[in-house]
Each structure stands twice: as structure tokens, then as C-alpha cells.
Amino acid sequence: MAKRTIGKILYYALHLAGFILLWLVLRNFDWQQFGGLFRSFTAWNFLAGFGMLVIVYLLKSLRWMLINHTFGVKLSYGNTLIFFLVSGFLSVITPGRLGEFARIFFVKQKTGVSSTVATSSVVLDRVWDVLVLSMLGGAGAVLIFGGFRVGPLTLALIIAFFLLALAIILYPALVFVPMKFLFRRRSGLKAEMDRVYHDWKANALRLFLPGFGLSLTAFLALAFIPLFFTGQLDQEVGLVHAVSAVSISNMLAFLPVTVAGFGTRELVFSEIWQMLGYATEPAITISTAYFICNYLGSLVAGGITYLVWFRKFSPKTIAAGTSEPGQTI
């Protein structure tokens, strides 16, 4: 019980760091100017942002379908897209990345595959995100912060993330060899991991080009969202800066010090916009619009999908990893 309490205290303390960072960014903020800038955005700006988010979901769902097929999971593109939308919705409304567990749960319920297979497909899908985010974030940091002003340690960490993700994608033994050693006494699980490992290894190179192309295109589409709003404020912000702002802030969102990217996202946008000669207020206005498109879009699209297809599965049921009696997808 004491360990649980300490764990909760540590969890909330870490996530509080993001809001402290947000306060530091906004402590001298001109809210009146922010309101005036935000009111200049039109409905078309937000619709364009939502439309770009749909493209991101379509591309990333296709990537996940290809990964599932690699492991012998015959999931249609329609079902894959539905599961992806709902997982995005659950990630927004619940703490602890429930969306990723939801994807595992839905694949198991729909196809009857083992937890090892379903988990491996989701893990590989997320590793692709880390690969492209670290590549774009690292390249953007070097291009924007000239003279390696990002600091050698930061740059080293970004490169390390990229190389680790690339190694896992191409050489899955890095993950499966230690996992098989840990579970060597469980022959059934070890045999299942052997099968997944061989499927992953056999298809790693064949999947690499489509996986890389889809991942890169999806994140470039995501980076276009801020550009729909910069023009409205007559700001000259190029694609490189927008890609850097989105990719670096998404990388920092992996750290357990932020809720929905609050704090880290505002810091990154503010720093990059200041390098272009713009004040904090327009930077935060743009980052807020980006957040609304990203999270509200996930909430609406995924929420509607959830209500239509999955309302019989509560978040608690999904977290437990089992469905209620007689329920199927």
C-alpha cells in the first residue's frame, strides 16, 4: 500500500513539472494580446487543421495495418482505422496512455491473436514514431539552432533515440533475446515470442521503405497544421521551423513530466518563434490552435467512433484487458 501511495505521489509530482514549466513560459504573458490574436483565426483555419489531422490518421492507420499483416494479423484497413481513432480518443480522455492498451485490446478481441502478437504490433508502430520524430527533431534542432547551440548532450540524446529506434526496427533481437531470457521458464510464451521475432525479422527490410515513407509523410502533414494559422497572423514561418516545433514538442511529450504536452509544447514553440523575431504571445497563440486541432480533432473523430462501435466497452474494461461476457467487436 505504501509503495502504491509513493508511486502516485511521484506520478503527480512529475506531471506537475510540466505545469510549472508552463507557468514559467507564461508568467509575463499578455493575455489581452493573446485573445486578440486568437480571435483573428477563422473557422476555415481550424477546418484545415482538422482535415490535416484526418490525413495523419489515414496514413498512420495504413502503417499499422501493414505491421499487423507482418505478424499474420489479418485486420482490414477499415477496422484498423476505427481502432486507431478510438485509441486516440481514449488517449485524450484518460491518463496513462490507455489508447495504446486499447489498440492491443481491440486487436485481441477482433482477431483472437495472443497478447504477445497484439502488443508487438503496437510497440513496433510506436517505435516508428520515435524514429521519425527523433530524425526530424534532431535535424530541425541543428538547422534552427545553428552552431550546435542545442548543446552536445541534447543532440546526443536525440541521436541515441534515433539509432535505438532504427536498431529495434531492423534488429528485433535487441528486444526479443532479453525478453526470451526473462521468460525462459514459460515455454508457451517463449514459443510465441519466437514466432513473432521471426516474423518481425523476416519482414524488417521489406516493411522499412513503406513504414518510413508513411511515417515521414504523416508527421510532415501534422507539421503543416501550425502553418494554417501563421499566415493569418502575417508571420513568415517556414516548414522547417514548423516541423521542428511539432517534432521536438512531440518528443518531449514522451517524458513523464507533462499532461497532454502542456508546458513542453509552449516552451518549444516560444523558443523557435523568438528565434524568428516574434514574441511569446503569437507563439503561444499558434501552439494553442495546434493543440485544439490535434486534441479536439482526436476527441471528436475518436469520440464519435467510440460511441457508434465501442460504447459497450468501458475504459475500465479495456484497461483490464478483458471484455464483458458475450461482448465482441
> Is residue 21 assigned to a domain?
no
> Is residue 329 assigned to a domain?
no
Is residue 192 within 8 Å of residue 175, measured between CB atoms? Answer: no
Q: What is the pLDDT of residue 314?
A: 63
**Look-up of cell digits 518549444:** 268
Q: What is the pLDDT of residue 25?
A: 85
**Look-up of cell digits 536498431:** 167
For residues 127 and 166, what is the distance between their CA atoms, to the nearest angstrom? 8
Domain count, the chain: 1
Q: What is the pLDDT of residue 324?
A: 43
Residue 50 CA, distance from chain mean position = 16
For residues 242 and 269, what is the distance between their CA atoms, to the nearest angstrom? 9
> Is residue 143 assigned to a domain?
yes
Range of the structural domain that residue 224 is part of: 44-320
Q: What is the pLDDT of residue 124?
A: 92
> Is residue 235 assigned to a domain?
yes
> Is residue 152 assigned to a domain?
yes
Q: What is the pLDDT of residue 326?
A: 41
Q: What is the pLDDT of residue 317?
A: 66
Which of 245, 258, 284, 265 lies closest to 31, judged by CA? 284
Q: What is the pLDDT of residue 146?
A: 55
Low-confidence stretches of the chain (pLDDT beneath 70):
1-15, 94-97, 141-155, 255-257, 259, 311-329
